[in-house]
Amino acid sequence: MSGLLYLIPIALFLGLLGLAAFVWALKSGQFEDLDGAAQRILLDEDEPEDRPKAG
C-alpha cells in the first residue's frame, strides 16, 4: 500500500508531461498539414536533372 504513495504521483506527473508535450506539438504546428506529408511520399523528386524525361 505504501508503494501507491510513490506510484500515483509519478503516474500523474508522467501524464501531465505527456499532455504538455502534446499541447506544445499542437501550438508549434506539428499537425497542420497531415495530407501534405502523406502525398509527399508519392512524389518522385529524386531523378537526376541531366537525364531527359521520358515522354
- What are 1-55's pLDDT values in tens digits? 889 999 999 999 999 999 999 999 999 988 888 788 778 778 776 666 666 666 5
Q: Looking at residue 44, what is its pLDDT?
A: 72
Domains of the chain, residue spans: 4-40
pTM of the model: 0.58
Q: What is the DSSP string of the chain?
A: -TTHHHHHHHHHHHHHHHHHHHHHHHHTTTTS-HHHHHHHTT----S-TTSPPP-
Q: Looking at residue 5, what is its pLDDT?
A: 93
Q: Looking at residue 53, what is its pLDDT?
A: 65
Q: Looking at residue 6, what is its pLDDT?
A: 95
